[in-house]
Amino acid sequence: MAAKKFVLPFDEVSSKDSDRVGGKNAALGEMIRALKKQGVRVPDGFATTADAFRLFVRENKIDKKIRAEIRRLKKGSKSLAAAARALQALFLKSKFPEQVEEQIREAYRELCDRYEKRAVDVAVRSSATAEDLPEASFAGQQETYLNISGEDAVVDACRKCYASLFTDRAISYREEKEFDHLKVALSAGVQKMVRADKAGAGVMFSIDTESGFPRVVRISAAWGLGEVVVKGAANPDEYMVFKPLLGRNKTQPILEKSLGDKKRKVIYARNGRGTRTVNTTKKKRKSFVLNDAEILRLAKWACAIEDHYKKPMDIEWAKNGDKGEIFILQARPETVQALKKAGSLKTYRLKEKGKRLLSGLSIGDTIAAAKACRIQSTRELGKFKEGSILVTEMTDPDWGPIFKKTKGIITDLGGRTCHAAIVSRELGIPAVVGTGEATKVLRDGQEITLSCAEGDEGFVYEGLLDFAEEKVNLKKLPDTRTPIMLNIASPGGAFRWWKLPCDGIGLARIEFIIANRIQIHPMALVHFDELEDRDVRERIQNLTRDYKDKCDYFIDKLAQGIARIAAAQHPRPVIVRLSDFKTNEYAQLIGGEQFESREQNPMLGLPGASRYYHEKFRDAFCLECETIKRVRNELGLKNVIVMVPFCRTLDEADKVLHLLAENGLVRGRGGLEIYMMCEIPSNVVLAEKFAERFDGFSIGSNDLTQLVLGVDRDSAELAELFDERNEAVKDVVHEVIRSAHKKDCKVGICGEAPSNYPEFAAFLVKCGIDSISINPDRFVETKKIVAKAERKQ
């Protein structure tokens, strides 16, 4: 009779074996067996079985003692910490059954032979039989031991993994999730270490972790072992890849590359066992961990893993510094977005403004207002006041007892995949991580508002600000014949609205990207060496420090912003309006004062088309053209349509179209469409001739109303006169639709009028408008209004 197997090589394990080796180890075996042919690399190793754990418990006669300790804990006669210490001690002083220990040693020797080494360095990871389920992540509840070498050390690490099943955080977590402690077994996974200490490692998700947008891969990366990313001990690089265009010819759909400071890294300890944390060199801090080819390879692997498991996945990876190879270390189901109900959408918005104190990465999309509670370490957890917002440097699983009591989390360190981020998503509370200085800026007991409802960037405001929460049932929205599109300014906000059943983006404003992400006047980048203000030079130098060519900074940041917006709706059309700043707005950008003159009436001065071919600003427009080319050609987002604003005359239209063509943006080539804003009376009078030059019009109802009625749109005294429903305005709107349609030119509208005034929406429908574009928070109401108008026709 064959001896019972207490140890299984990973290549003999599949996803069906999670009850034998836990979810983590089952996933490793499944990937080795099923995804090797697709090039997905997983380090070799083996796993002890649940039977081995149960035999360990039984032969050491500690099962009764475990039951007794749990009873004392439930009765309250023993504290959680004391119970955990007692339970772990039971395991640590126990011995492995002889046959289990021998099988562990034999499996380790075979692993050494495979790598032709006397003592292979391995990671010994805990894999509980109830972990990594869709309803519970068990993130960091049990221990992992890195850089273990030698038979005795491996056996000892496996024993420690068993003991970690009863850490205070693991006990508390199972209590909260109502798992029976005695029905959970543990498997120790022993896996060849990847020399990430000489390269880098991180985490990736096959879904946008904040919005649930399913068509991107998010990757975090830091130098050294991946522990620094998971624990949030450093702010990592962040990369985002658009899945639908992966593998397409000549496209590199990397939507975003953000350089983290990566101040610390985890490497092997000098004695050859364990690990230690050290500071990262200045050169490494300023360098990306992954190159573009590696980012794309990891994204392809994430897609392959997701396709195999048929669900979004949370994946750890590492790069071998010796040979430059990348490996997948583990994969588990994503546990937050996967459980959110389809067909509904919750939105949050601030109803008042406040002084901004801090910013960082936003986790989730909610808002919290409460007093700050600053905690420096786990020794101070008893000081935490329930209902406060936790402020700390970083968190780890030992902070578990207070997470349920907090309204939000703010940290100095960490990226989107750090422990604080994972926990806050799971609990549905907002977090702003990686602020850099929260523990210095915020006072204990200070009233603050934490907002994650404004896109990728999260903000902390002074005081308790009022905010609104709205739940939208998307299943009950009526269908409309008229396409309803969105107006979007913030790239970070684009993914928030992906669930809305819209027909694309009718107006993507790039001014927000320039003002908030770029911040610098484009001409100050083109003529940096000629800048007169020393302080301006220093600020620009600091912002562009990662770019050899300062103009690349502008193109790169703008391309990333536009790409995010375009990807959110791909393959539906996304109409990107070229820059439409006025001179006074441009002057507010860093370095802008030197290049902008003071105009008496900036609204009628140099906004839009006139600026593009002006000798003073032509070079800035060329940067915008280069950006659009990159988004369409290199990233592959051909759904981007270009729109020219404030084009006064036919001659001006010809000049801009010629300049676009000179810069490689030829109307019709590669399917490129070019639209024009219709916002000046001359656009209406000459609509048929403009329609011969452009593929479509978008009516800017605010400016058109202002110029038809001669009313300053910003004048409080004339507010009653400013009304899109005025007969003169309606006449010009009807006329431009009629004229454009005569030339087979499409006409849409981007403005608030259709949602503010139901009768105006009905009028547009009657005129045969081709599309209506609206701000996202007015989408649902506008959809209903248009549907009602269509029914009445």
Report whether 374 contacts 396 (CB < 8 A).
no
Annotation marks residue 502 as catalytic: no
Output the furthest CA–CA distance in the chain (Å, rounded).
97
Structure-block tokens of residue 148 = 């273990």
Looking at this protein, which amino acid is placed at residue 449? T
Closest CA to 224 of 189, 255, 271, 262: 262
Alpha carbon distance 389, 375 (integer Å) = 10
Alpha carbon distance 203, 232 (integer Å) = 11
Structure-block tokens of residue 379 = 């020794």
Helical spans, DSSP H, in 378-418: 400-403
Structure-block tokens of residue 135 = 């309803």
Looking at this protein, which amino acid is placed at residue 720? E
Cβ contacts of residue 418 below 8 Å, gap of 6+?
Answer: 229, 230, 231, 232, 394, 395, 411, 433
Q: How far is CA 191 from CA 42, 123, 144, 608, 763, in A?
A: 9, 5, 11, 59, 68
Helical spans, DSSP H, in 235-381: 282-285, 292-309
Closest CA to 554 of 630, 645, 639: 630
SS3 200: strand
What angle (nearest 5°) sits at the alpha carbon of residue 587, between those of residues 585 and 590? 110
Report whether 29 contacts 21 (CB < 8 A).
yes
Structure-block tokens of residue 162 = 């068993």
Annotation marks residue 419 as catalytic: yes
Alpha carbon distance 674, 682 (integer Å) = 19
Structure-block tokens of residue 151 = 């038979």
* List 112, 303, 373, 419, catalytic entry: 419
Report whether 140 contacts 396 (CB < 8 A).
yes
Looking at this protein, which amino acid is placed at residue 9? P
Cβ contacts of residue 462 below 8 Å, gap of 6+?
Answer: 354, 355, 356, 357, 446, 447, 448, 449
Q: How far is CA 341 from CA 275, 344, 385, in A?
A: 42, 7, 32
Cβ contacts of residue 323 below 8 Å, gap of 6+?
Answer: none
Helix, strand counts (H, E) of the chain: 29, 30
Q: Name residue 405's beta-bridge partners.
A: none
SS3 29: helix
Alpha carbon distance 342, 334 (integer Å) = 16
Residue 48 CB coordination number (10 Å): 31
How far is C-alpha 357 from the chain's CA centre?
Answer: 22
Alpha carbon distance 404, 172 (integer Å) = 11
How far is C-alpha 420 from the chain's CA centre?
Answer: 15
Structure-block tokens of residue 484 = 């309803």
Alpha carbon distance 438, 373 (integer Å) = 11
Closest CA to 783 of 481, 469, 495: 481
Closest CA to 572 of 488, 493, 678: 488
DSSP H or E run through 362: strand 356-363
408-411/389-392 β-pairing: parallel
Alpha carbon distance 216, 570 (integer Å) = 12
Alpha carbon distance 615, 607 (integer Å) = 14
Residues classed as catalytic: 419, 750
